[in-house]
Amino acid sequence: MEEVYLDNAATSRMKKEALDAMMPYFMDEFANPSSIHAMSRAPRAAVKKAREQIAGCINAEPGEIYFTSGGTESDNWALISGMEMQEKKGKHLIISTIEHHAILETSYYLEKRGFEVTRVKVDKDGIIDMAELEKAIRPDTVLISVMTANNEIGSIQPIAEIGKLAHDKGILFHTDAVQAFGHIPLDVKAMNVDMLSASGHKFGGPKGVGFLYVRKGIRLPPFMHGGEQEEGRRAGTTNVPGVVGMGVAAEISCKDMDAKNRKMTELRDHLIDRVLKEIPYSRLNGHRYKRLPSNADFSFEFIEGESMLMSLGMKKVYISTGSACASGSLDPSHVLLGIGLPHEIAHGSVRISIPEETTLEQIDYAVDCLKQTVETMRSLSPLYDDFIKSQRV
């Protein structure tokens, strides 16, 4: 078996069409799209086209798309500038407990700067508790930010409902849609979203480029200061090749999404069914159905996620424990603790995120390896041994 890459939520392989579309803008059409001369025309037109391609995916207008360096910058911009802009009206921000670090860490930064933050719980399936959210709203709440789909457990939030609640109370609503854009259908109008973050490399575009959708009429102040690019809202010479690649990747990703997702869901469900049936003391994290078609996240009792990763790596199956950003630290993922898993179970968790081109054969190979690894590791575990003996009495 060749390498089986099942870590698509960490980053995706670029689409060939996206790479091809980028190439001319490094050498032949390298000019700065903000220049006045004739050579700036082609890159300027290419950036305009990318803005249209992206807006088209989410039912936005091209003028509502602002290019950034990626998901992290978009999240920082939406939260920091979104709070600063409304400082006189109120200083309270609401997020969920299972947000990506780009939101979570920014919320800690805002607290240090004198803002107040409430982090609303999710239920055991990783779906936000709407009653808790409503209770968290205060007269001085000015921004709510809840991710569209979680990067670890894939759970999809009731975004339209959250947006409606926010708007009924006159509160701005931002969503981190980095895992969702290009993977599930999104419509900023139907979802009642004011701001939305996405990142090129999560859907077959290049790394280091993303965008923030800002609804027309919201005067979000700039986060990067300097030139007049992006209507004066985001300074810095436009990353023309990056933006072009992201535009093409977006257009391809959003085409025939339903058909692609039916196939992905079948693969995912086959994987989930086999694991839960064939590996004892395993559990699926996240909602059984309200989850990304590409995501499966499991906990295996009596096992360490990191050792499982290493053992699978030797079989050329590449997966992840929790989120890539959290790995390297010994703390279990805040997302798994957020859905109520005890520490020892959270430690035995792995995330499998499936690229679109994956075959059934590859999935079956991965499950076989997973099963073998779990069996081997448990056979070496004194804890598991004690547990099995205690079950016999």
Residues that bind ligand PLP (CB under 6 A): 70-72, 75, 100, 102, 147, 151, 176, 178-179, 199, 202, 210
- Residue 12 or 373: the one with the smaller Cβ distance to ligand PLP is 12
Helix (H) or strand (E) holding 21: helix 16-22
Is 369 annotated as catalytic?
Answer: no
Alpha-carbon distance values, 185 to 73, 106, 147, 264, 290 (Å): 23, 27, 15, 14, 13
Burial profile 156-190: b = 16 or more Cβ within 10 angstroms, e = fewer: bbbbeebbebbeeeebbbbbbbbbbbbbbebebee
Long-range CB contacts (< 8 A, 24+ apart) of 37-45? 43/238, 43/240
DSSP-derived secondary structure for 329-390 = SSSPPHHHHHTT--HHHHHTEEEEE--TT--HHHHHHHHHHHHHHHHHHHHT-HHHHHHHHH
- Residue 91 or 202: the one with the smaller Cβ distance to ligand PLP is 202
User: What does the H/E/C string look like for 226-248?
Assistant: CCCCHHHCCCCCCCHHHHHHHHH
- Residue 44 or 100: the one with the smaller Cβ distance to ligand PLP is 100
Give the active site residue among 57, 254, 325, 369. 325
- Residue 75 or 251: the one with the smaller Cβ distance to ligand PLP is 75
**Minimum separation from the CB atom of position 72 to ligand PLP (A):** 3
> Minimal CB distance to ligand PLP: which residue?
71
**Minimum separation from the CB atom of position 146 to ligand PLP (A):** 11
d(CA 142, CA 136): 12
Which are the contacts of 182, defined by CB distance < 8 A and separation ≥ 6? 57, 198, 202, 203, 204, 249, 250, 253, 254
**Minimum separation from the CB atom of position 63 to ligand PLP (A):** 23
**Minimum separation from the CB atom of position 104 to ligand PLP (A):** 10
Residue 297 phi, psi dihedral angles, 5° rounding: -130, 125
Radius of gyration of the chain (CA): 22
**Minimum separation from the CB atom of position 10 to ligand PLP (A):** 8
- Residue 96 or 151: the one with the smaller Cβ distance to ligand PLP is 151
CB 251 within 8 A of CB 204: no
CB 38 within 8 A of CB 44: no
- Residue 181 or 300: the one with the smaller Cβ distance to ligand PLP is 181
d(CA 226, CA 241): 21
- Residue 98 or 272: the one with the smaller Cβ distance to ligand PLP is 98
CB 253 within 8 A of CB 204: yes
**Minimum separation from the CB atom of position 155 to ligand PLP (A):** 12
**Minimum separation from the CB atom of position 369 to ligand PLP (A):** 25
Q: What single letter denotes the amino acid at residue 374?
A: V
Catalytic residues: 325
